[in-house]
Structure 1
Amino acid sequence: MNLSFSWYAPTHGDSRYIGLKDPEFAGTPDYIKDVAISAEKSGFDSILIPTGPNCSDAFITATHIVTLTKKIKPLIAIRPGFIAPSVAAKMTATLDQISKGRVSLNIVTGGSPMELAMDGDFLAHDDRYRRTHEFVEIMKKIWTDEDVSITGEFFQVKNAKLNPKPDQKPYPKLYLGGSSDCAIDVAAKSVDTYLMWGEPVEQVQLQIQKVKRKVETLGRDINFGMRINLIIANTEKEAWHKAEQMVKKVDDSHVKRLNQYISNSDSTALRRIQSLNNKMVKDKCFWTGMVPYRSGNSTALVGSVEQIKESLQKYVEAGITEFIFSSYPHIETVSYVGEKLIPLLKETVLS
């Protein structure tokens, strides 16, 4: 079994506290550089670069990172609605050549009509996933074939050519998340890793089984990844104190904006996460205290290194082989997670 571990590039800003009006640390190029270099030194395989209205451009940020590092792999979030697949294929191939095969893509279909409208995307939920499937399949064709002509529902290319091809063969690794049936359908058909937000291990296992059943009908194989926050310290008491402090400075204006976002969202995955608020679970490390103050990735594992290792081990047993971690602030916690937790988990799982 191979396990992989990714860190997170907070291009929207970073803080010790959740829900501040303004971040304590701006997500400047220098800050992201320091986070990426520290993640590489601490043994992380990849670094997730987000997309969204409050984030720096993910592709430009990835280029910044690969020119300053030697091994860490940018996992670039990309939204299919805002760029032609032929252009995305060329951008990805070029950066894959520059980085000597370090690029992968996280295909983000989007879960907020209000947010998507800011960039001019007005497609309904299921339509967006059909477009995502078409987008990914056209990119794959352009990466592998010499002459591509496709007329689809959303995109059309005629005699598309790409040179040079990506450094990775047949093409860079592709990720996709989403809990709806149409999201699972696209993931099963088109990507290498199905991503989930952190839910209790029992729910994660059920979702993995659901996706596997779909994948098996197509004769494919797929990996499973999970994105979750870690609040980790030398002792359980210290970790829970840190967790309690993180939510003590939430700004009212932030909560108002978040509630608008959530009420407008058509994301099945987000509804699943929001339903966990104050829910009792078996894992004593699993914490939902950030759920009322964040969208998306808002659950956490809280505890000592040993306790969190034991929790993560259960996720591995359920079928997760790729983890994307956040811990706050990212620049101050990356070394601790990378040097203390990851080697211990690898030793336990792989021994």
Structure 2
Amino acid sequence: MSTEKIADAVKFAYWVPNVSGGLVTSDIEQRTSWEFEYNKKLAQTAENNGFEYALSQVRYEASYGAEYQHESTSFSLALLLATERLKVIAAVHPGLWQPGVLAKLGATADHLSGGRFAVNVVSGWFKDEFTHLGEPWLEHDERYRRSAEFLQVLRKIWTEDDVDFRGDFYRIHDFTLKPKPLNTPERPNPELFQGGNSTAARQNAGRYSDWYFSNGKDFDGITEQIDDVREVARAHDREVKFGLNGFIIARDSEKEARDVLREIVEKANRPAVEGFRGAVQQAGNSTGDKKGMWADSSFEDLVQYNDGFKTQLIGTPEQVAERIVDYRDRGVDLILGGFLHFQEEIEYFGERVLPLVREIEAARSTDRERVGAA
């Protein structure tokens, strides 16, 4: 078990439902909406219930249950302007964005929000989004090489003047961005998140990003990833924080929570799940070491399309809180939560689960101090 920590307390984020269809590809009722007014209220509810971050999804056209989609950066800015404390992470695709243009947008969003804008660099899994827009589709490792350059260019433009960058994918010549992001001690430059399970993704995270996002994982799976990324980061004199995806089903009884999971899977939209499975598992299996995202995901795992059931945040408030702190003890800094009924379940989480997380964290910290003093 890894006990190294960067933050004292685990932080919480939620998936912004800015695409239709909810967070599970199932015909079960999902009391949620992709429309702005719903999401505006949800963001305000989340920041008042202990959530520090929200992640806006990126899809450019209908796919696998997501018939409608709002663009992530504009939607993120709207949510930032509707809230006071929430940090909103916009997912973006290198290959569909020029990094200097995104750097300009990000600096403006950072000023307008008082330093709360962040970026999640997504290397891409949905081939049609690129080919339908007339853009080349690169193979897995080439996409991550492009993302590595993208992360470097963003950081340079946000922190340096007269930027020159000569890469295989991007060429920047004597470029200076003004104004730059706020970059105060309280609000440093926009945080850079990056996900993926593959060796290439881990290398990028360890070398260039502030945060590494993982798909849903059990204890052994996340520990292996954290240890690997930390080793890369230390080799480059860096530290990286870790976010973990988990679909949260907290109910008054464990039976009720397990029944909800069972119903979600039983009512899965099989053609949509199988279509998604075919699209993503070829990406995961295209890596040489088979460590790509979704490479080992079962049908049930993919009903929640980021393997959120694997994290097993399912049960009573006490059970979910205990498991969250167990992940914290293994080095997870942030839980990225998905929910079936977002508005009411985020309220339930803030009232019933999060206070227990803080109690357990405090008790374990006291125990560690007592053992250390003995």
Normalised by the length of structure 1, the TM-score is 0.89
Q: For 2:280, give the aligned amino acid.
A: I
How many residues align structurally?
Answer: 338
Residues 155-234 of structure 1 aligned to structure 2 (within 5 Å): 155-169=170-184, 171-234=189-252
Contact conserved, 1:111 with 1:265, CA < 8 A, in 2? yes
Counterpart CA distance in 1 for 2:143 and 2:183 is 28
1:348 counterpart (329, 352, 360):
360
- Please report how far the alpha carbon of residue 272 of structure 1 lies from its aligned counterpart in structure 2 after TM superposition: 4.3
Secondary structure of 2:124's counterpart equals: coil
Q: Match of 2:301?
A: 291
- Please report how far the alpha carbon of residue 30 of structure 1 lies from its aligned counterpart in structure 2 after TM superposition: 1.3
Q: Match of 1:33?
A: 40
- Please report how far the alpha carbon of residue 63 of structure 1 lies from its aligned counterpart in structure 2 after TM superposition: 1.3
Q: Match of 2:339?
A: 327
Secondary structure of 1:6's counterpart equals: strand
- Please report how far the alpha carbon of residue 332 of structure 1 lies from its aligned counterpart in structure 2 after TM superposition: 2.3
1:308 counterpart (314, 320, 333):
320
Counterpart CA distance in 2 for 1:106 and 1:18 is 23
Residues 239-318 of structure 1 aligned to structure 2 (within 5 Å): 239-266=257-284, 268-274=291-297, 277=298, 290-299=300-309, 300-318=312-330
Q: For 1:221, give the aligned amino acid.
A: E
- The CA RMSD measured in Å over matched residues stands at 2.2
Once the two structures are superposed, residues 28-67 of structure 1 have per-residue CA deviations (whole angstroms, 9 ceiling, x without a partner) of 1112112211111212101111112343111110111011
Counterpart CA distance in 2 for 1:99 and 1:229 is 28
Q: For 1:219, give the aligned amino acid.
A: D
Q: For 2:138, give the aligned amino acid.
A: L
- Please report how far the alpha carbon of residue 270 of structure 1 lies from its aligned counterpart in structure 2 after TM superposition: 2.8
- Please report how far the alpha carbon of residue 303 of structure 1 lies from its aligned counterpart in structure 2 after TM superposition: 0.4
Q: Match of 1:60?
A: 74
Residues 5-154 of structure 1 aligned to structure 2 (within 5 Å): 5-15=12-22, 18-20=25-27, 25-53=32-60, 54=62, 55-119=69-133, 120-154=135-169
Contact conserved, 1:73 with 1:104, CA < 8 A, in 2? yes
Once the two structures are superposed, residues 101-160 of structure 1 have per-residue CA deviations (whole angstroms, 9 ceiling, x without a partner) of 111111111234344434424111111111111111111111111211222110112121
Q: Equivalent pairs: percent with the same residue?
A: 26
Deviates more, 1:17-26 or 1:223-232: 17-26
Counterpart CA distance in 1 for 2:148 and 2:167 is 11
Contact conserved, 1:173 with 1:192, CA < 8 A, in 2? yes
Secondary structure of 1:262's counterpart equals: helix
Counterpart CA distance in 2 for 1:308 and 1:152 is 45
Counterpart CA distance in 2 for 1:159 and 1:17 is 46
- Please report how far the alpha carbon of residue 257 of structure 1 lies from its aligned counterpart in structure 2 after TM superposition: 2.4
Counterpart CA distance in 2 for 1:102 and 1:93 is 10
Contact conserved, 1:112 with 1:266, CA < 8 A, in 2? no
Contact conserved, 2:32 with 2:342, CA < 8 A, in 1? no
Counterpart CA distance in 2 for 1:231 and 1:10 is 17
Secondary structure of 1:270's counterpart equals: coil
- Please report how far the alpha carbon of residue 225 of structure 1 lies from its aligned counterpart in structure 2 after TM superposition: 1.3
Q: For 2:160, give the aligned amino acid.
A: D
Distance 1:340 1:269, change over 3 A: farther
1:3 counterpart (10, 13, 38):
10
- Please report how far the alpha carbon of residue 23 of structure 1 lies from its aligned counterpart in structure 2 after TM superposition: 7.1
Secondary structure of 2:212's counterpart equals: strand
Contact conserved, 2:281 with 2:293, CA < 8 A, in 1? no
Q: For 2:336, give the aligned amino acid.
A: I
Normalised by the length of structure 2, the TM-score is 0.84
Counterpart CA distance in 1 for 2:197 and 2:217 is 12
Distance 1:183 1:16, change over 3 A: closer
Q: For 1:331, give the aligned amino acid.
A: Q
Q: Give unmatched runs, 5+ long, in structure 2.
A: 1-7, 63-68, 286-290, 364-374
- Please report how far the alpha carbon of residue 86 of structure 1 lies from its aligned counterpart in structure 2 after TM superposition: 0.6
Q: Give unmatched runs, 5+ long, in structure 1.
A: 278-288
Secondary structure of 2:319's counterpart equals: helix
